């Protein structure tokens, strides 16, 4: 249901960043300048717009990175020596570069976090998701859904990185429900999503469903989307309210986006967000 921008290591080797007119990099490092702007533009042009510029989604995914640092050797599970500097040092250095870059993103009420997936990918790769959270929306969600998040000791004021990592490493169904709430899906859609997975696990039969699509800047469907029961119909009270709330944010972004274009048509995303939040 979601499409992610996956950046391979070969891209990192080609990155260069010139200081763009009207854009002051948050750090002197040229890599950080390019990376921060590129990641934030990708988010603004996709569903993260509704976290970065609006209070529609408490959390959104920005990009996924993949590095060959995961342990797939069961004999090493009890060992403290999983990786070596000779073989894996370059990958760990690149992860550190990413972490240092996002640490310099300073936007009021916004927190960008790195989230290593609990399960390793194929061929020993570790997928690391970079996500963005609106802190005020997250706190409201933790309060509203304290009957779910409270079991983990998650309360308003908890560091967003702690929240997302707790959800990622939770039980399968709790993980699905936690992400459903964090990504801003309606309660009925979250309930259906969890039950559908549970039914599939039990019967091995796919549960038929429909999809509710909310447009983003780059496309009308395929990004901010959630499943709902095949026999159900979207309602004005829930789905339409969410749709038009998002539409207002999208319209606002369309109005200001052209004011922050570089000669190559890329967006001065960090400057846009800083100006928006002044």
How far is the C-alpha of 205 from the C-alpha of 64, rounded, in Å? Answer: 29
* Mean pLDDT within 148-166: 98
- Evaluate the CA torsion angle 16, 22, 24, 25 in order and state its sign: negative
Q: Map tokens 């999983």 to a residue.
A: 82
Q: Which residues contact 145 (CB under 8 A, 6 or more apart)?
A: 181
Helix (H, G, I), strand (E, B) or coil at 67: strand
Q: Which residues contact 256 (CB under 8 A, 6 or more apart)?
A: 272, 276
Query: Looking at the domain assignment, is residue 1 inside a domain?
Result: no
Query: Looking at the domain assignment, is residue 229 inside a domain?
Result: yes
* Mean pLDDT within 231-257: 97
| pLDDT tens digit sequence for 20-72 | 334 344 444 566 778 999 999 999 999 999 999 999 999 999 999 999 999 98
Query: Looking at the domain assignment, is residue 104 inside a domain?
Result: yes
**What CA–CA distances, in Å, run from 64 to 6, 116, 215, 254, 258?**
5, 9, 21, 25, 27
Token pair for 132 = 């963005």
Q: What length does the chain have?
A: 278
Per-residue model confidence (pLDDT) at position 3? 42
How far is the C-alpha of 48 from the C-alpha of 132, rounded, in Å? Answer: 7
The pTM assigned to this predicted structure is 0.88
Q: Domain residues for 199?
A: 6-276
Token pair for 104 = 């310099």
| pLDDT tens digit sequence for 160-200 | 999 999 999 999 999 999 999 999 999 999 999 999 999 99
How many distinct structural domains can be found in the chain? Answer: 1
* Cα–Cα nearest to 59, from 167, 169, 150, 189: 167
Tell which phi-psi region holds residue 222, choosing left (phi > 0), alpha (psi between -120 and 50) or beta: left
Higher pLDDT, 244 or 31: 244
């Amino acid at each position: 249901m979601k499409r992610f921008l996956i950046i391979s290591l070969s891209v990192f080797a080609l990155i260069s960043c010139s200081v763009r007119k009207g854009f002051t990099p948050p750090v002197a490092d040229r890599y950080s300048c390019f990376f921060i702007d590129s990641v934030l533009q990708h988010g603004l042009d996709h569903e993260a717009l509704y976290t970065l510029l609006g209070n529609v989604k408490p959390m959104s995914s920005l990009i996924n990175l993949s590095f060959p640092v995961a342990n797939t050797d069961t004999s090493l599970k009890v060992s403290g020596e999983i990786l070596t500097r000779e073989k894996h040092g370059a990958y760990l250095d690149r992860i550190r570069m990413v972490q240092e870059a996002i640490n310099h993103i300073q936007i009021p009420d916004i927190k960008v976090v790195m989230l290593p997936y609990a399960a390793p990918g194929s061929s020993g790769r570790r997928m690391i998701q970079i996500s963005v959270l609106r802190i005020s929306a997250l706190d409201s969600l933790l309060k509203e859904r304290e009957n779910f998040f409270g079991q983990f000791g998650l309360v308003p004021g908890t560091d967003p990185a702690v929240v997302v990592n707790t959800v990622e490493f939770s039980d399968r169904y709790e993980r699905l429900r936690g992400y459903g709430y964090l990504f801003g899906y309606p309660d009925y859609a979250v309930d259906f999503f969890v039950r559908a997975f549970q039914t599939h696990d039990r019967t091995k039969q796919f549960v038929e469903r429909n999809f509710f699509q909310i447009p983003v800047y780059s496309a009308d469907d395929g990004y901010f989307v959630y499943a709902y029961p095949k026999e159900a119909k979207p309602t004005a009270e829930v789905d339409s309210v969410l749709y038009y709330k998002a539409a207002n944010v999208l319209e606002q972004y369309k109005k200001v986006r052209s004011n922050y274009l570089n000669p190559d048509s890329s967006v001065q995303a960090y400057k846009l967000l800083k100006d928006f939040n002044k």
